[in-house]
Amino acid sequence: MQRSVLIIDAISTRRIHMRAQLDTAAYPVDLADTQTEGLALIRKDPPDVVIIADDLPGLRLRQFCKTLRGNTQTQFTTVVVAVRSENQSARVSALVDGAHDVIDMNSDGVDLKARVRSFMRTSGQSEGWYRQPQTQAVSGLAEAVPEFAPKTVASFVARDSEIWFDKILNDVSAASGIDIRPTSARLARRSPDVESDVYILLETGSDDGTRDTLVALRSHPTSRDSRILFVTDCPSQIASPLDLGADDQVPTTISPTELRLRIDRLARRKRDADRKRKETTELAQKAYVDALTGLSNRTAMEEYLLRMDHALTAQPRAVAMMIADVDHFKAINDNHGHAAGDVILAQLARTMRSKLRDGDFIARYGGEEFLIVLPNVEAEQAHDVALRLRDAVADNPIALNASTHVRATISIGLAVAHRNDRMSTTDLQRAADNALYSAKRNGRNRIDIALLANSHERPLGGTHGEQ
């Protein structure tokens, strides 16, 4: 869907001039000369960005912003107020009333297009972030956003940062309680402050290297998720700071009040993005992790085996697969209850995982069964691992309470494919499953090894019976 812009301004020459500046930005631009007409156009075809003049007759900006955010079709629309640069109070009022940003009414084309591109990027990110928590709320997974907000930490980067700090940021830091830390560009590039929510970059000349610092911060793992406020009076260049990765750009004449508002807003956006990124990661983990045992679940197992098949096709190698099943698990549930059965499964999972290498894979296969894959091992090594798992489980009774301990055992079916066997994981899984049934029939608490039909080596014949 093509992104679009709506300009609302009573003065036709300004509307037309602004649209002409955006002609090469590849965004359709609609025009309106009143708030009423603008709202009608918004309802008909919601734009991504609305640029509205602060001197529009009858404008009630706070209500205008509230109306857009209260509608599901326009809640992610970016509202930008065009203000004369010298009108500092109007700039602050617009931000307080709910505008996402304020721009100079006489912005040149390069700056205006860079800002619109930045608004489009931010709007798209916000929409993607906010949709998921709504889904979580419907499913009962959403948590209330904590009211407490940690203190904002900002790093101020400039040549002679201590001197410039006294000129520009001292009042902001003292009045707002924001922890602003002067630092050199060299230090910021090499070792960004891990605690910084916002970086404030002051460009004192077109060749002072500040834009290089911007690019370095945006690409460094420590600072790439921080927000960057770029302060400059330098003429527009081919690449705007906003196109290089800055989240906001302001002139050095900005008032302390507006600067504080912008730093606060950027810090909130950063914390909000961090929280939503964490939620997304946790949801993804839930989709692939068994809630009871903490092991990979069946979905993760199937995807892993598919990747393993592709890897074995591209580069044949030895691989072993085991299926382990808890012996007499129904009797454990009948005698001690299902809650005790859950405790035992969780403890067995921890025990088995602790005996595997970092590159090995273990998943809860279903019920009381576990599937284990050992890449790059031959039969003897795989058998040793199976013994280690079996003995670790059998030798460690599980405490259900102070007076009750349960000694669980497992039976294991083992299948090993050698480098030249060219077997699929489906073949291995079937063979390991058959070996498991054999272990169950032959007494439990034992390891049975599958004899693969097309194996180039004779598998180990030893098994270990129930004790």
Q: Which two tokens stand for residue 309?
A: 């098949």
The amino acid at residue 80 is: V
Q: How many CA atoms lie within 13 A of 369 on its CB side?
A: 16
What CATH topology corresponds to 298-449?
Alpha-Beta Plaits (3.30.70)
Q: Residue 445: pLDDT band by 50, 70, 90 thresholds?
A: very high
Residue with tokens 């039969």: 379
Which of 253, 215, 216 is CA-nearest to residue 233?
Answer: 253
pLDDT in tens, 112-162: 899 999 988 877 555 443 444 443 433 333 444 445 568 899 999 988 777
Q: Is the pLDDT of residue 236 over 70?
A: no
The amino acid at residue 169 is: L
Percent of the chain whose predicted confidence (pLDDT) is above 70: 90
Contact 279, 260 (CB under 8 A): no
Same CATH fold, 143-280 and 1-142?
yes
E-only strand ranges, 65-208: 78-83, 101-104, 153-157, 179-183, 198-203
- For residue 144, the model assigns a pLDDT of 44
Between CA 214 and CA 61 the distance in angstroms is 33
Between CA 402 and CA 425 the distance in angstroms is 43
Least confident of 78-82, 109-113, 216-220: 109-113
Max alpha carbon distance in the chain (Å)? Answer: 93
Between CA 266 and CA 152 the distance in angstroms is 10
Q: Is the pLDDT of residue 106 over 90?
A: no
Domain limits, the chain:
1-142, 143-280, 298-449
Residue with tokens 């505008």: 99
- For residue 239, the model assigns a pLDDT of 76
Contact 326, 408 (CB under 8 A): yes
Is CATH 3.40.50.2300 correct for 1-142? yes
Q: Is 458 helix (H, G, I), strand (E, B) or coil?
A: coil
DSSP secondary structure letter of residue 145: P
Pairing label, strands 198-203, 227-232: parallel
Helix axis angle for 298-314 and 256-288, nearest 10°, is 80
Contact 11, 52 (CB under 8 A): no
Between CA 25 and CA 48 the distance in angstroms is 14
Q: Which residues pair with 361 in a beta bridge?
A: 373
Q: How many CA atoms lie within 13 A of 20 on its CB side?
A: 8
- For residue 206, the model assigns a pLDDT of 72
CATH of 143-280, one of 3.40.1710.10, 3.40.50.300, 3.40.50.2300, 3.60.15.10: 3.40.50.2300
pLDDT in tens, 298-338: 999 999 999 999 999 988 899 999 999 999 999 999 999 99
**Mean of pLDDT values over 253-270:** 91
Between CA 129 and CA 421 the distance in angstroms is 47
Q: Is 136 helix (H, G, I), strand (E, B) or coil?
A: helix
Between CA 416 and CA 426 the distance in angstroms is 12
Q: Is the pLDDT of residue 91 over 60?
A: yes
For residue 371, the surrounding DSSP H or E stretch is strand 369-375
